[in-house]
Structure 1
Amino acid sequence: MALRKRNGSTTWHIDLRAPGGERIRQSTGTANKKEAEEYHDRLKAELWRISKLGEKQKHTWDAAALRMLKESTHLSSYVNLEIHIRHFRQFFSGRLLESITRDEIYEALPQLSARTKQPKPLSVKTKNMYLGTMRHLFNLAIKWEWLDRVPFLEDTKVANKRVRFLTREEAQRLIAAISTEWLRDVATLGFATGLRRANLLGLEWTQVDLVNRRAWIHSDQAKARKSIGVPLNDEAVAVIRRWIGRHPTHVFSRRGKIIPNVTSEQWKRQCVRAGIENFRFHDIRHTWASWHVQAGTPLNRLMEMGGWSKYEHVLRYAHLAPDHLAHHANAVTIWSQQEVTTPQTLAA
């Protein structure tokens, strides 16, 4: 029987030839030899039925995951897909794709974050990203005609949180409190343009036109994979000009080297110095959008400037400027406009 353990693995692996000559090598997903033998026999019988009786071939989760990754290398979420597949492999490796149920997928979702020093409960949003990967895999399986039906994987509802933004006075206090020049200017440019952290740190001189006061983010750098045109106001132009000649390719640098990231610890220290609480670096972008809406910038223009892919992403700011609804307010007044009578006169 073509069963063996390899590379120090505790699970049994199959190595056999299908009736058509194709070599099949895969994990049985079990360390129990009897269970592995049963799996081997079922697979061998299935391959015979496919070859001799024309039954539809069944595919494993491993094969689907590998093909999905090969076809998803162009996606901006590819790194996350790899992380998610690595997690789910411990639950579904060796399983036939059609045998995996909805309940099993929900039970396999991670519960704790492994990216923090102290494990903490994983957010609903992150769990939904894991679900999205499995949904993507099964939808592709339908496209490949590997399956006729797939589990229904509904996202867990994410609580709508209030948008966190600063007043201009708070923003001024924060900028003044930042002790490091490069971080101070990166934050200032963020308030002026609404660019995401990665786009701010990765901004190159070839993406800036100070004469025409504009910059641009290429499609492969944008989260929504769409190019973004960035108008530069006076503050943005002044910040960028201060960095001319410091680095050959990138606008911002630290000791002559490209800045890879702004860590949460770095940012929290600056917020503490300024007396600002509960304010992430990404909230600079929320602040920029909030200021625009309060100043009357139309939501469709804000969507274009911010590079959002869906209109619902900018609707979260709509409540900050309800002025366009003001003329509707009189539709529900207690007293008609013709009536001079007021509650006070009635009481008299």
Structure 2
Amino acid sequence: MARVRLTKTLVDELQPPEKGQAFVWDSEVPGFAVRATASGAKAWIVQMRVRGGKERRMTIGFCNKVPLDKARQEARKVLATADLGRDPAQERKEAREVKPDLNPTLTEFATRWLEEVAGRRNRAGTLKNRRLLLKNHILPVLGEKRITDIRRKDIEDMHHGISKRFPVAANRAVSLCSAIFSTAERWGMLTENPANKIERNAEEGRERYLTPEEIARLQTALDQSQAQDSADVVRLLLLTGARVGEVLAMQWEHVDLTVGLWVKPAATTKQKRIHRVPLSPAAVEVLAKRQSAQKAKQRKGELPPWVFSGDGANGHMTTIRTFWAAVCRRAGIEGVRVHDVRHTFASLLVSSGESLPVVGALLEHTQAKTTSRYAHLQDDALRIATNRVAGITVSLQKQ
């Protein structure tokens, strides 16, 4: 069987046989060839011997769709697999015969994952974000592929495409894919996670804290607002450092104004565990005023279950996004998210000399590295302490 080194020009100029099929074998990769048929179709094929001496022939792809270098590379992989005693052709046939429920499309499996896994573990906000990532970025690219057909290159291409406009969202999309494929791997539907070892885009940590002047202007704007329910939410964010969702879901039964304590139930916290938060006198005052006002509205003086009652399906307020934008405009504050109020709370604690472990405990951080982002804010407090020691040393030297 004569062999020549296959080139694109040679394959393009190859004439179809009058009948049947003809092969031109590659001299560079033994067993690799181009097959031409009487109909004019040209395809890359690889021929090998598998365990037991059986000869197998497998199609890699059509020449007009798969470049020569890619086909030659795939042929080498197939031949190496056969050398290890496996039967690539039979494995491909079996993969195609896998029942759809054992090899679903990514859209089908992601739908199941959202219901059976994420739906039990994630909070409503996280679940909403994950649905949007799937809808806007992941499924339009990979949704119709069956999960066993998705390769690391597919994930990398998706990440690259999203990165052109949304580099951070591209990273989140890869992380979500990894979580989904990890479940498929755990359930025995995959042998490896194709979203592992994907290089992510560099992300700059966001550090935006309200300055003392901005806090003063914000408090004035809150006092002048007609929406005092939403204003009280922001006041408690400033005084507790809690997440906005936790404050909105606050219930009276979890608050003890006598001792100044708020016990967040596990269902409302990010870490899914109970978190005890000491309340300052200022925070107690905000809550006490709300309690008195709510009792006055009730005929029997009974409190509603929620500190911030609302018309939503859960019975409490669910967002202050519009209010936050309006109050920031009124206060002349730009570039601050409502979550940055939490960072401001932490920065004030650290700048005043409080230790990072204490700050982490108040913010419900489970890992020290999460709180370490505020370490640089200790500089002023440390400088004061250093100057104090220097003053003592100098005074002793003069004696």
Greater length-normalized contact order (CA 8 Å, ≥ 6 residues apart)? 1
- The answer as to 2:121 corresponding to 1:72 is no
* CA–CA distance in structure 1, aligned partners of residues 317 and 111 of structure 2: 34
| Pairwise CA distance, 1:323 | 6.1
**Do the aligned partners of 1:227 and 1:307 also contact (CA within 8 Å) in 2?**
no
8 Å contact from structure 1 (residues 214, 230) kept in 2: yes
SS of the residue 1:223 aligns to:
coil
Cα drift, residue 232 of structure 1: 0.4
Instruction: Note the alpha carbon deviations across 1:27-53, whole angstroms, 9 max, x for none.
Output: xxxxxxxxxxxxxxx9994269779xx
Q: CA deviation at 1:97?
A: 2.2
Corresponding residue number in structure 1 for 2:176: 133
Specify the SS of the correspondent of 1:316: helix
Where does residue 158 of structure 1 map in the other structure?
203
Aligned with residue 306 of structure 2, among 247, 250, 257: 250
Q: Secondary structure at the match of 1:220?
A: helix
Deviations 1:156-176 (A, max 9, x none): 221123x21123342122111
Opposite residue 269 of structure 1, the aligned amino acid is A
Deviation at 1:140, TM superposition (A): 2.2
Which AA in structure 1 matches 2:216?
Q
CA distance in structure 2 between the aligned counterparts of 1:289 and 1:244, rounded to whole angstroms: 27
Instruction: Give the drift of 1:261.
Output: 1.0
What residue ranges of structure 2 are gaps of 5+ in the alignment? 1-89, 295-302, 388-393, 395-399
CA RMSD, Structure 1 to Structure 2 (Å): 3.6
Q: Give the distance between the partners of 2:342 and 2:291, measured in 1 at CA.
A: 24
Q: Deviations over 1:47-96 (max 9, x none)?
A: 69779xxxxx9723435434533233222133333333444333334423
Distance in 1 (alpha carbons) for counterparts of 2:117 and 2:309: 35
| Residues 98 and 255 (structure 1), Cα distance of their counterparts in 2 relative to 1, 3 Å cut | closer
| Cα contact 1:226–1:307 (8 A) shared by 2 | no
Deviations 1:321-345 (A, max 9, x none): 1368669999xxxxxx9xxxxxxxx
CA positional deviation for 1:103: 3.2
- Residues 1:230 and 2:277 aligned together: yes
- 1:311 has 2:368 as partner: yes
TM-score (norm 1): 0.68
Task: Give the conservation status (yes or no) of the 8 Å contact 1:213–1:231.
Answer: yes
Matched, 1:271 2:328: yes
For the residue of structure 2 that corresponds to 1:74, the secondary structure is helix
State the identity as a percent.
27
Equivalent residue number for residue 259 of structure 1 = 317
Kindly tell me: are residues 106 and 261 of structure 1, through their superposed partners in 2, closer, same or farther at Cα, counting changes over 3 Å? same
1:194/1:285 contact within 8 Å kept: yes
- Give matches, 1:98-247, under 5 Å: 98-109=148-159, 121-122=165-166, 124-151=167-194, 152-161=197-206, 163-178=207-222, 179=225, 180-245=227-292, 246=294
Q: Distance in 1 between matches of 2:337 and 2:281?
A: 25
Q: Is the 8 A contact 2:210 2:344 kept in 1?
A: yes
In structure 2, do the counterparts of structure 1 residues 93 and 285 end up closer, same or farther at CA, with 3 Å as the change threshold? closer
Deviations 1:126-171 (A, max 9, x none): 322211110112222332233333333233221123x211233421
What is the CA–CA distance in structure 2 between the aligned matches of 1:90 and 1:213, rounded to whole Å?
A: 51
Q: 2:385 & 2:216 partners in 1: Cα distance?
A: 36
Q: Secondary structure at the match of 1:198?
A: helix
* Alpha-carbon distance between aligned partners in 1 of 2:342 and 2:233, rounded to the nearest angstrom: 12
In structure 2, the CA distance between the partners of 1:241 and 1:99, relative to structure 1 (3 Å rule), is same
Structure 2 Cα separation of the partners of residues 306 and 321 of structure 1: 17
Structure with bigger helix share is: 2
Flag the 1:278–1:90 CA change in 2: closer, same or farther, 3 A: closer
> Quick one: which amino acid aligns to residue 276 of structure 1?
I
Task: Give the superposition deviation at 1:241.
Answer: 0.5
The worse-fitting range, judged by mean Cα deviation, of 290-299 and 248-257 is: 248-257
Q: CA deviation at 1:205?
A: 0.4
- Unpaired runs of at least 5, structure 1: 1-41, 52-56, 114-119, 331-336, 338-348
Q: Which moved more, 1:81-90 or 1:139-148?
A: 81-90
SS in 1 for 2:290: coil
Q: How far apart are the structure 1 equivalents of 2:331 and 2:143?
A: 50
> How far does residue 121 in structure 1 lie from its aligned partner after superposition?
4.3
Quickly say closer, same or farther: Cα 1:311–1:45, change in 2 above 3 A: same
Distance in 2 of aligned mates of 1:191 and 1:228: 18
Structure 1: which amino acid aligns with 2:182?
A: N
SS of alignment partner, residue 315 of structure 1: helix
Counterpart for residue 283 of structure 1: 340
Say whether the 8 Å CA contact 2:353–2:381 is kept in structure 1: no
Distance 1:91 1:328, change over 3 A: same
